[in-house]
Structures are given as C-alpha cells and as structure tokens.
C-alpha cells in the first residue's frame, strides 16, 4: 500500500521526465484511491503537497493539473551535508536579541516559532481554569507530584489512543513543558562529554540545551522534505561514538520536514538494532494542515528505545507549560531525574489542562488553528516565490510553523537579520540553527504570529535587502 509521500514522489518523477507535461490532468482523487489502494485523504494530501510546491494546480470541478514552473516556482533546498564529526555547541548571541525583539509591537515577527494568542483558546481556557481552581484541593498538591495528575495522564493516554497508539497512563510522566521533557531525558540518558546525534539544521533551544549539559553533537544530513537521512544516521550509530539521538521527525523546526511512515518504522528498527535511545520531540505534531494526523516514531517502537516528548504549550496553552514524556524502557531513569531536579509541575497547571482536555472544545480549537496556520503558510510561500530573487530555494511545508529559505551563495544571513530588523522585521538567521554556526546563507521565516498582511509586507521588506546582505 502506497503512502502519500510515495504517491507524491511518483508524480514528481513523471513530471521531471516530461511524461506528465504542463497542462496534463493527473488521475482524479477517486481514481488514484483505487490505483494505489489507499483512502482518499492520502491521495488528497499528496496532491496538496505538490500544489504547495508549485507542481500542481487545482481547477474547480475539473481536478488537478500539472502547473507551469514560471517565475514564481521556487525549488526546495538540497539535502544538508554537515561535517562528519562531533562538535561542541557554540553559543550564539543573536538568540538573546531575537527573543527580546519579539516583545516589540512595532516589529513584524517572522523570527520566532510561536502561535499568535488570537489563535489559542483563551476564553475556553479561562473558563476551564476557573472550574479547575475552584475544585482544586490542598491534598492534590501531593497527589500531583511526579509522575503527575492521574486524570491528566489518563486523558493524554486517550489522545494517544485516538491517534492509534496504545500508551498506558502509568508510562506517562508530566513535565514543565516540552523543552524540559527533552532536557530531562537528555540528563537521564547521558553524561557530560557524551555525543548526541541530531538533525542539521536544528531547533536552537535544543542546541542550547545540549551545550548547557556539556554534550557534544553529531549533526546528521537531513532532507528538507523527508527529514533525517537514515543511512548517515546508521554510519554514526555504527561508529559507536553516539550515546543517544534527539530528533523532530514530524514538522521539524525549522525545516518543516516530515519523515514518511516507512522511514519512521525503519528509524525505530535502527535504534532497536543498535540499542541507542532516541528522544522524539513531537511538540508540533498537531499542526498538520491536511488530515490524516501523522503518526510518531513511537507508534513503531516495539522495544521501548524511543522516548516520546509532547506538550500543550505550542498549540493550546503556552503559559501553563504542561508537557510529558512517554519514556519506554527508560521510565525509571527519567523518573529519578525528574524527582531530583524538578519534582512536580504545579498542581494548578495540571488541573486546568485536565479540565480543558476533559470538557473543552479541544478538537474544534485545533481544527480552526490548523486552518489559520495553513492560510498563513500559503501566504508566506506565495510571497517568497513572488518577491525573492532568482537563486533562492525554500521548503514547502505541509504543517508546522516555519519556511526554511536558502539564499544565494555569498548572502550573509546575520547581516540580513540586522538590516531587516532596522526596517522593523525580524527573521531567524541560519547560523543559530547549527552547533558550528553553519547555514550562513539560510534563514527561517515563521508564520505563526504575523498576520497575512504582515507576512506579505515583511517578506517584501526582507527581499529588498537580500542584495545588500551579500558578503
């Protein structure tokens, strides 16, 4: 049975070989469903991804057609090729500047991966908070010590079950947000001087955490659409120089890549074969633009080597900082570390999240947020395609919060960051996503906070400065 990636790749091959030409109609969703023996959602997801990449166009009541690659077509970046040796994490001062920039209301916020408060369930969460606090008893302060509120863990287990993954509530440990979940897993599994395999580029808070723990990183080649290169990862595993790996297989930040299911299954088998624990940061898995919801690597973990980290901070309640770990065979180590370093998530935060998950319109909120983010993403992709000069490349995400842009060679992304900020636009320069400050001609542009109008204006401003940022 084909997956949506396989269907999409087959069509790309046919288009590249000119078997399918501009203006040709591709098989209808109904026909492709029968041909590939999949459900209509799988075919539709493949078609919409190719539409986002500018290869197809949909015509009302007519179907999907091969689109002309005119001046608005922007190819995706190449597979990253980091140096094949481990390194320490070099701190980057621009991160502090960028975080402070977010507080300025006069800056178009394309530089940080958050979701605008208007897209979050503020009023519903407030009502849940009022009910939860009224019912909260002092005795629950003890009950909610790690592993956490039993009812909250049960509700999280139910959400796992809805995605086809059976996780027992006793296997879930509540944390103070998703990043703490990752950090505590790293503390439980490694010691200073150990090496952790990571994707390149990588979400900068994770890199900062790795550096703070005294860990070395082995950056692994990563495809902008399908994620971590498993052959490169196995080479690192085979060397026995890697003690753990830390990955974002679903809507990777900042690439937006999604590992196909067959790759996720192969990844789970790989960590089992080499008995190397894998920490899966899945904080963005709810931010898919088209169904079905992707399954995590944890769904293919038969031996407990995958530690699955999730949180509600990104998509529901940033201020409550409720995250969790499903730690598999490492539950004891994670619990010990949790107890020693941070014994509990505040009972009030756990109670509010429990109330909202049990009685709030969770799925309606998530559906509306995904729709809004999809519109913003489409606006950003279109604006980059229209405004940026020839020679740029970009990802075409089907979920998440970021578009990764590769600028023409010789462009200094740090210089561009300062030029853009002087004009009232923040961006995330590529070097902050690398342990060695690589990706000097790359940047991430985030669409979770800015409005569609701000996205258009911000992208236009950045585009006008690219030539001035040449080294």
322 and 408 both lie in a single domain: no
For residue 79, being part of any structural domain is answered with no
Distance between CA atoms of residues 404 and 450, nearest Å: 16
In the numeric block, the tokens 């900082």 are attached to 321
DSSP state of 438: -
The per-residue pLDDT for 319 is 87
For residue 401, being part of any structural domain is answered with yes
The domain boundary, picked from 338, 361, 384, lies at 361
DSSP state of 425: E
Alpha helices in 202-346 (DSSP H): 204-212, 230-238, 261-274, 331-341
114 and 126 both lie in a single domain: no
Q: Please classify residue 449 by burial: count the beta carbons closer than 10 Å to its beta carbon, then call 0-12 exposed, 13-18 middle and 19+ buried.
A: buried
For residue 78, being part of any structural domain is answered with no
List beta partners, residue 66: 56
Instruction: Give the number of domains in the chain.
Output: 3
For residue 39, being part of any structural domain is answered with yes
Helices (H) and strands (E) in the chain, counts: 16, 17
* Stretches in the chain below the pLDDT threshold 50: 1, 71
Structure tokens at 50: 């190719």
The per-residue pLDDT for 71 is 47
The per-residue pLDDT for 48 is 80
Q: Please classify residue 422 by burial: count the beta carbons closer than 10 Å to its beta carbon, then call 0-12 exposed, 13-18 middle and 19+ buried.
A: exposed
In this prediction the pTM is 0.87
The per-residue pLDDT for 70 is 52
User: 270: domain range?
Assistant: 122-361
For residue 186, being part of any structural domain is answered with yes
160 and 208 both lie in a single domain: yes
386 and 312 both lie in a single domain: no
For residue 351, being part of any structural domain is answered with yes
The domain boundary, picked from 318, 346, 361, lies at 361
Give, in degrees to the nearest 5, the angle at Cα 376 between 373 and 381: 125
269 and 248 both lie in a single domain: yes
The domain boundary, picked from 303, 331, 361, lies at 361
150 and 283 both lie in a single domain: yes
| Domain of residue 108, CATH code | 3.90.1150.10
For residue 82, being part of any structural domain is answered with no
332 and 437 both lie in a single domain: no
With CA atoms as reference, report the closest residue to 127 among 369, 365, 315, 449. 365
354 and 368 both lie in a single domain: no
| Domain of residue 246, CATH code | 3.40.640.10
394 and 262 both lie in a single domain: no
For residue 328, being part of any structural domain is answered with yes
192 and 291 both lie in a single domain: yes
261 and 351 both lie in a single domain: yes
The per-residue pLDDT for 234 is 96
With CA atoms as reference, report the closest residue to 110 among 468, 439, 463. 463
The per-residue pLDDT for 164 is 82
357 and 368 both lie in a single domain: no
Query: Can you list the positions of beta strands (E) in 98-180?
Result: 108-109, 172-175
């Amino acid at each position: 049975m084909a997956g949506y990636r396989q269907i999409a790749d087959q069509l790309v091959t046919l288009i590249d070989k000119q078997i399918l030409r501009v203006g040709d109609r591709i098989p209808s969703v109904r026909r492709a469903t029968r041909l590939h023996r999949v459900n209509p959602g799988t075919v539709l997801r493949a078609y919409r991804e190719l539409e986002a990449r500018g290869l197809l166009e949909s015509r009302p009541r007519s179907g999907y057609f091969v689109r002309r690659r005119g001046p608005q077509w922007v190819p995706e970046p190449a597979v990253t090729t980091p140096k094949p040796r481990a390194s320490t994490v070099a701190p980057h001062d621009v991160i502090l500047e960028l975080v402070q920039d977010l507080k300025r209301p006069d800056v178009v916020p394309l530089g940080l991966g958050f979701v605008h408060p208007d897209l979050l369930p503020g009023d519903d969460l407030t009502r849940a908070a009022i009910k939860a606090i009224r019912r909260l008893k002092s005795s629950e302060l003890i009950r909610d010590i790690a592993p956490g509120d039993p009812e909250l863990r049960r509700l999280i287990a139910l959400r796992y079950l809805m995605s086809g993954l059976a996780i027992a509530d006793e296997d879930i440990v509540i944390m103070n947000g998703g990043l703490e979940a990752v950090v505590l897993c790293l503390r439980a599994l490694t010691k200073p001087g150990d090496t952790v395999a990571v994707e390149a580029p990588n979400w900068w808070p994770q890199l900062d955490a790795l550096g703070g723990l005294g860990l070395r990183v082995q950056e692994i080649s990563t495809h902008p659409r399908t994620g971590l290169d498993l052959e490169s990862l196995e080479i690192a595993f085979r060397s026995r120089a890697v003690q753990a790996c830390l990955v974002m297989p679903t809507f990777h930040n900042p690439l937006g890549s999604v590992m196909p299911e067959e790759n996720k299954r192969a990844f789970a088998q790989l960590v089992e074969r080499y008995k190397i624990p894998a920490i899966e940061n899945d904080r963005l898995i709810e931010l898919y633009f088209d169904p079905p919801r992707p399954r995590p690597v944890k769904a293919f973990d038969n031996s407990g080597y995958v530690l699955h980290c999730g949180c509600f901070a990104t998509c529901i309640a940033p201020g409550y900082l409720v995250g969790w770990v499903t730690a598999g065979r490492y539950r004891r180590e994670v619990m010990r570390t949790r107890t020693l370093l941070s014994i509990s998530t505040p009972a009030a935060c756990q109670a509010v999240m429990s109330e909202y998950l049990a009685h709030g319109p969770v799925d309606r909120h998530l559906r509306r947020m995904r729709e809004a983010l999809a519109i913003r993403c489409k606006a950003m992709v279109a604006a980059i395609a229209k405004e940026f000069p020839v020679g740029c490349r970009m990802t075409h995400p089907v979920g998440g919060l970021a578009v990764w842009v590769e600028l023409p060679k010789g462009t200094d992304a740090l210089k561009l960051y300062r030029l853009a900020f002087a004009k009232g636009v923040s961006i995330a320069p590529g070097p902050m996503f690398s342990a060695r400050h690589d990706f000097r001609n790359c940047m991430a542009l985030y669409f979770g906070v800015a409005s569609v109008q701000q996205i258009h204006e911000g992208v236009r401003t950045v585009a006008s400065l690219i030539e001035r940022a040449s080294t």
